[in-house]
Amino acid sequence: MAKEKIKLEKGKTKSTLKNVLKYVKPHMVFVLFSFIFAALSVVLTLYVPILTGRAIDYIVGPGKVEFEPLAKLLFTIGVCIGITAIAQWITNACNNRITYNVVRDIRNDAFKKLEILPLKYIDAHSHGELVSRMIADVDQLADGLLMGFTQLFTGVLTIVGTLIFMISVHPQLTIVVVVITPVSLFVASFIAKRTYSMFKLQSQTRGEQTALIDEMVGNQKIVKAFSQEENVQERFDEINNRLAKCSLRATFFSSLVNPCTRFVNSLVYAGVGVFGAFLAVKGLLSVGQLSSFLSYANQYTKPFNEISGVVTELQNALACASRTFELINEEPQPEEEKDILVTDGSVDIKNVEFSYVPERPLIRGLNLSVKPGQRVAIVGPTGCGKTTVINLLMRFYDTDAGTISVAGKDIKKVTRGSLRTSYGMVLQETWLRDGTIRDNIAFGKPEATNDEVIEAAKKAHAHSFIKRLPQGYDTVIGEDGGSLSQGQKQLLCIARVMLCLPPMLILDEATSSIDTRTEMRIQKAFATMMEGRTSFIVAHRLSTIMEADVILVMKDGNIIEQGNHETLLKQGGFYAKLYNSQF
């Protein structure tokens, strides 16, 4: 089992790395420039010790300093250092460009995927976790990529370049360095392999924490109303403690890399110093050359420390990136047909079956035929499938079996956009965007004139309260409606539909948060709006659907009774019991 798990983790890492490289590929020009200028800065950095060694050899002793060649060498060293600084600046600029362009592209793709994912995926994952994948995890990837491009290129080039320069100075002494140094690579590799799973757990726990915070911030009133502060605090503390433990373990093991490699590198430096001193005493190596070689030994081992740090950071970055790529690689909702729906308002539902979870059937064998202009009310106990029928009509979910046709066309064979444009929808749960009152009313018809927006607000009986707001229709509200009451928010959503006036309407508890007097006025407005339009009305208050042409009584996902108000009352069935319980 352990071996299979390690193989699975390796496979995931390779897959994630391939995905990252796919996003890097469009920016290969900057990668090339980064490589060229990194190579230039490394070559010049490694050339300086040779010049320094020569300068030392020109200082033989008291009164034996060759000033003219020494001055030329110092000038050359200054020029090399200046060019190195410019090359490093250009390298860093290219690396930043690559990293943040890649991060931008990943976030764009993640957000695009979020918009085409089926609703069942969104419903199955906490919103906070999805936010964490797109924000925190991508930030971690950015940190890892930046370190990778900045230090990995330079580190590898420094190792290769240093070897070449060391061989040119003294081949035998180079062997001492080459033999001891690979030990640090084995140490770094051994530790890095064991840190990936810990960083993955850290990323998952962080997502869990973000989800809880997002949930609590959005529902703070409910938490306070039910005095759940202590319970929520306990849940947060438990997750926070788990995050602290897994973060501590990941950081502890990854922190072992640097000191371990530094220990090996110190052995290399000491070996070069001792062996080089013997050579210098025997006259096989000048003092300047020994100085250059010690500098090279230090520069040769330094990249191993940096690369080991990069490997650790990349482990964390890839662990976070894998979660984001899981989102990007999710199966989108099925491809839609290109056909545009032109509806006459007729709807036919034939042998429809649907369940949110396969092992728990909800709707079985649903059949319904609605003629253009009919008002269809759907009633029944909570959980019987009323809102599910609405979700299927709008294609928020696709049926498991059977067909739903509008104007004689299977809705799976027309574009979702044209289908949803044919419906005007007012839900019990209101949604308002961050913007002005006018923007929110004109959400479905951005090109609407100011007069059209005001007329729609008047029809929805929202005009009077809007005029009382500080800036009227230009009042800016937050995404949750700010200080507006639930009833006022619902009136704005009704005004939004009044403005568009589509051929079909869906009203799912559309007046649940409105006072009785205003509701009576809106019902009259709805009645006018419904004339000639097919309407689906979901309601618990039966007084609001007594005028419907057809009332569907649902129970356990099936239509058990069907007819108008008077017919159903005469039958004395389930609807009659519901009606009598309310009146």
Q: What string of pLDDT tens digits covers the 583 residues of the chain?
A: 444 444 545 566 777 888 888 888 888 898 888 888 888 888 888 788 777 777 777 776 555 667 777 788 888 888 888 998 999 899 888 888 888 888 889 888 888 888 888 888 887 777 777 888 888 888 888 877 777 777 777 777 887 887 887 777 777 777 777 777 667 667 766 776 667 677 778 878 887 888 888 778 777 777 877 778 888 888 899 999 988 888 888 888 777 777 777 777 777 777 777 777 877 777 777 777 777 777 777 777 677 666 766 776 777 787 788 888 888 888 887 777 777 777 778 888 888 888 887 777 788 888 888 888 888 888 877 777 788 888 888 888 888 888 888 888 888 888 888 888 888 888 777 778 888 888 888 888 888 888 988 888 888 888 888 888 888 888 888 777 667 777 788 788 888 888 887 888 888 776 666 677 767 767 777 777 777 788 888 877 666 677 788 888 888 777 888 888 888 888 888 888 877 876 6
> pLDDT at position 188, please?
67
Rounded CA-CA distance 498/166 in Å is 81
Other beta carbons within 10 Å of 193: 15
Its pTM surpasses 0.75: no
* 95 Cβ neighbours under 8 A, 6+ residues apart: 34, 146, 149, 150
* 110 Cβ neighbours under 8 A, 6+ residues apart: 133, 134, 138, 324, 327, 328
Rounded CA-CA distance 119/103 in Å is 26
> pLDDT at position 64, please?
66
Virtual torsion, Cα 514, 517, 519, 523, nearest 10 deg: -170
Q: Per-domain residue ranges for the chain?
A: 2-328, 347-582
Cα–Cα separations (whole angstroms), residue 182 to 145, 178, 268, 297: 25, 7, 10, 13
SS3 482: coil
Helix (H) or strand (E) holding 370: strand 363-370
**Are β-strands 558-563 and 504-508 bridged in parallel, bridged antiparallel, or unpaired?**
unpaired
Rounded CA-CA distance 132/324 in Å is 9
User: Over 127-144, what HEC string results?
Assistant: HHHHHHHHCHHHHHHHHH
Is the Cα torsion angle 167, 171, 176, 180 positive or negative in sign? positive
To 10 degrees, what angle do helices 136-147 and 67-116 make? 150
Instruction: Identify whether the C-beta of residue 45 lies closer than 8 Å to the C-beta of residue 77.
Output: no
> pLDDT at position 349, please?
86
Specify the length of the chain in residues.
Answer: 583
What is 347-582's CATH topology? Rossmann fold (3.40.50)
> pLDDT at position 89, please?
92
One-letter amino acid at 255 equals S
Helix (H) or strand (E) holding 455: helix 450-459
SS3 384: coil
The first and second tokens of residue 537, run together, are 């009305």
Instruction: Identify whether the C-beta of residue 156 lies closer than 8 Å to the C-beta of residue 128.
Output: no
End-to-end CA distance of the chain: 64
* 272 Cβ neighbours under 8 A, 6+ residues apart: 173, 176, 177, 293, 294, 297
> pLDDT at position 185, please?
67
What is 2-328's CATH topology? ABC transporter transmembrane region fold (1.20.1560)
CA neighbor of 540 nearest in space, from 387, 390, 389: 387
> pLDDT at position 6, please?
47
479-490 in b/e form (b: 16+ CB < 10 A) is: eebeebeebbbb
One-letter amino acid at 41 equals S
Q: Kindly state the DSSP code that residue 327 receives in the 8-state scheme.
A: H
Q: What is the CA radius of gyration of the chain?
A: 35
DSSP for 282-347, written as a single string: TTSS-HHHHHHHHHHHHHHHHHHHHHHHHHHHHHHHHHHHHHHHHHHTSPPSPPPPSPPP---S-E
Instruction: Identify whether the C-beta of residue 460 lies closer than 8 Å to the C-beta of residue 498.
Output: yes
SS3 258: helix
Cα–Cα separations (whole angstroms), residue 189 to 82, 222, 300, 312, 519: 36, 50, 18, 9, 70
Helices (H) and strands (E) in the chain, counts: 23, 12
- Give backbone dihedrals phi and psi of 184, rounded to 5 degrees, phi first: -65, -35
